[in-house]
Amino acid sequence: MLKAGKVKALGAMSGTSLDGVDVALIETDGEQIFGFGATGYRAYTSEERMILRKALGKWPGDDLHEARVVVENAHVAALSRVEGAEIIGFHGQTLAHDPHGRGTHQLGDGAALARRLGLPVVWDFRSADVRFGGEGAPLAPFYHYACARYMGVSEPIAFLNLGGVGNLTWIDPRHSGPEAPGALLAFDTGPANAPVNDLVQERLGLDYDRDGVLARSGRVQENALELFLDDPWFFRMPPKSLDRDAFADMIGLVRELSDADAAATLTAMVAAAVLRGMEHCPLPPARVLVTGGGRHNPVMMQMLGAALDCQILPVEDVGLDGDMLEAQAFAYLAVRVARGLPTSCPSTTGVRAAVGGGEISRP
């Protein structure tokens, strides 16, 4: 059993950008954040990244042995570097996401991690939400709400995570809890770093457009941008969620463009998707706090600033760690699961009622 009161929880996150494993320690009771602890990062090697890329789109029952070994070993290596944890939140590596079809698939065995690390591990956070009619994503919004309360915010704000996929959490922290009606609205805005990463990997053999250098030297192709925004996705009401490769045909829209123009156009698509998403917010947020790898791309940030009518800030400007926010989120959610608290609700995933996901494995 987890002790009462404050707990030191360690979360791990490996996103759809396939860069590596983030780990972060926080102190929480599953409702409030009391403090932040050590963090760590274990990058995937080029070979490991190639194995994981080949596994994208696969489901349980497919041949995933190599990818499973990569995920488990990388997580054990990253998590074992941080001391003091009492419980671990393990998200796993998302390979496929089809909430209204086959479900959602995060590769990784929490029971194996519990045995190897000697600590209770909470994992498989998304399946219960999908079973009860939800999208299974995004799951960080309850943590975003806790961050807003930790910051002492008294007006609506938004968190924008720009990972492989972009997702937005609109928060009104004046409500009593994250599951309260009107407290949260969350949804995926559209693709973010994944198409840009895939483009530069395919054409130049690079992992990503470092500092937006390629996009900065190109010109946005407006026709391609308009075709992108005609996708039915943008006419769906939230909550809604995407698979990493749901917009794989974005690459086709820029196929005939130069490397620089293609990167500029794909980057502009990210900002345009966020602008469309902002139209769903119940009230305009005072600030949009950006987390995830996209905030390191100055061209992407400039495009967002030009598109939106509010402050666009990296989360570091308010004292948070944008590289570790999602790892912290799964540490926080692990404690909520252990305490029987909900981890998603109708306004975050479309689930029929507030639900707590996650399986607990003990060593």
CATH number at residue 168: 3.30.420.40
Q: Please indicate, yes or no, whether residues 160 and 287 belong to a single structural domain of this protein.
A: yes
Are 208 and 221 members of one domain?
A: yes
The structural domain count of the chain equals: 2
- Contact partners, residue 327, CB within 8 Å, separation at least 6: 11, 12, 13, 22, 23, 24, 39
Residue 259 falls within a domain, yes or no? yes
Domain span at residue 90 reads 7-137+325-361
CA distance 90 to 71: 11
Residue 300 located in a structural domain? yes
The whole-number pLDDT of residue 62 equals: 94
Q: Is residue 2 part of a domain?
A: no
pLDDT in the model for residue 1: 67
Same domain, 82 and 116: yes
What does the pLDDT profile of the chain (363 residues) look like in tens digits? Answer: 688 899 999 999 998 778 899 999 999 999 999 999 999 999 999 999 999 999 999 999 999 999 999 999 999 999 999 999 999 999 999 999 888 889 999 999 999 999 999 999 999 999 999 999 999 989 999 999 999 999 999 999 999 999 889 999 999 999 999 999 999 999 999 999 989 999 999 999 998 999 999 999 999 999 999 999 999 999 999 999 887 778 888 889 999 999 999 999 999 999 999 999 999 999 999 999 999 889 999 999 999 999 999 999 999 999 999 999 999 999 999 999 999 999 999 999 999 999 998 999 999
- Does 24 share its domain with 40? yes
Count of CB atoms situated within 10 Å of the CB of 113: 24
Regarding whether 168 and 89 lie in a shared domain, the answer is no
Q: Is residue 46 part of a domain?
A: yes
Amino acid in position 189? T
296 and 186 in one domain?
yes
- The angle at the Cα of 268, spanning 264 to 272, to the nearest 5 degrees, equals 170
Q: Are residues 15 and 59 in the same domain?
A: yes
